[in-house]
Amino acid sequence: MVHTETGVGKIYFALNFAHNATGSVYAVVCVSLLVFFLKEKIIKLKILFLILLLINLFALFITKSRASYLGFFGAAIIVVWLHFKSIKKFFITAGALIVITVPILFLTGVYKRVLEILDFNKGTTVIRFFIWEKAWYLFSQSPLFGIGYGRFNDAFSIDRALFDIGRLIGYPGIVSFYVKQNYYFDTAHVHNSYLQFLTETGIIGLGLILLFWILCIVKILKAYNSTNEVFTSKVLLSSLASIFVLFILSFFENYLSATTVMIPISMLVPISIGLYWENYNKCNIINKIN
């Protein structure tokens, strides 16, 4: 459950092979607990949610997943704003969150890991930039449809010293597919979901998946703004927050295709969409009666 990595120290992996995967789930859990804490009216339950939030924040921090830190804090800001919709209350609550999390950062020594986010000369950051450069080149060869879904790590791999652009068949700059019959089912990826989808499915593929998530946000936000039920609003806001966590995480890893984090999000979002349609049908019935 805990491993030691060179230059990073001890990292909490839980049952995953990657600490980022563990961190991504904790980011979703933490932002959902934040929602339940903010919206809970019963003091005893509110205290319980706060305790659970602190425990899971601690677990999130010791995963040392920088992308997950950003995912949680970015979504937390959106949660606080959507909950209060007041500039004054927003800044007060955001300040309280900072006061709570800063001691945890220092007690766990994670603040060093957080500061590394700003270090663009760090080895992992340099490697990411190198991979993104190669991915962008592949995208430029087939911007409409990409080189083929799941084919990035067949065409490019740092570990295998591979960058096989000779098997791109088609019309370079318009449509080109990677057609070599070599399939590598490993963990290599672009470390950026948006660029991964651009490379493998082109503008059309990325556009379709983003359209899906944007439609989910619109429907859930509409239901959230129109409901007066406390529990329903908790679920809806947790679902919205989880999508924003996903969006932020996807800048750093291929989380739009990551099973670990997609499992909780894929449960929350359909429930919220169902609540939207339930609310929509109730409104239609009321309108017909009136």
Residues 149-171: tens digit of each pLDDT = 888 888 888 777 778 888 888 88
Please tell me the distance from the alpha carbon of residue 19 to that of residue 12, in angstroms, as a whole number: 6
DSSP structure string for the chain: -EEEETTTEEEE-TTSS-HHHHHHHHHHHHHHHHHHHHH--SHHHHHHHHHHHHHHHHHHHHTT-HHHHHHHHHHHHHHHHHHH--HHHHHHHHHHHHHHHHHHHHHHTTHHHHHGGG-TTSHHHHHHHHHHHHHHHHHHHSTTT-S-TT-HHHHEETTTTEE--TTEEEETTTEEEE-------SS---S-HHHHHHHHHHHHHHHHHHHHHHHHHHHHHHHHHH---HHHHHHHHHHHHHHHHHHHHTTTS-GGG-HHHHHHHHHHHHHHHHHHHHHHHHHHHHHHH-
Domain chopping of the chain, boundaries: 2-118+203-289, 123-191
Q: What per-residue confidence (pLDDT) applies to 160?
A: 72
Who wins on pLDDT, 236 or 98? Answer: 236
Identify the pLDDT of residue 243.
96
Has residue 120 got a pLDDT over 70? Answer: no
Give the pLDDT band (50/70/90) at residue 128: confident
| 0.85 surpassed by pTM | yes
Average pLDDT score over the chain: 85
Look at residue 184 and tell me whether its pLDDT is greater than 90.
Answer: no
Pick from 101-110, 196-205, 227-236, 244-253: least confident: 101-110
- Asked whether the beta carbons of 243 and 265 are under 8 A apart, the reply is yes
Query: What proportion of the chain, given as a percentage, has pLDDT over 90?
Result: 40
Question: pLDDT tier at 288 (50, 70, 90 boundaries)?
Answer: low
pLDDT, tens digit (0-9, with 9 covering 90-100), for 213-244: 999 999 999 989 988 888 999 999 999 999 99
Question: Over the stretch 15-25, which tens digit does the pLDDT of each residue have?
Answer: 666 778 888 99
* pLDDT for 99 beyond 60: yes
pLDDT of amino acid 252: 86
Question: Given this model, what pLDDT does residue 116 score?
Answer: 67
Longest dimension (CA), the chain: 69
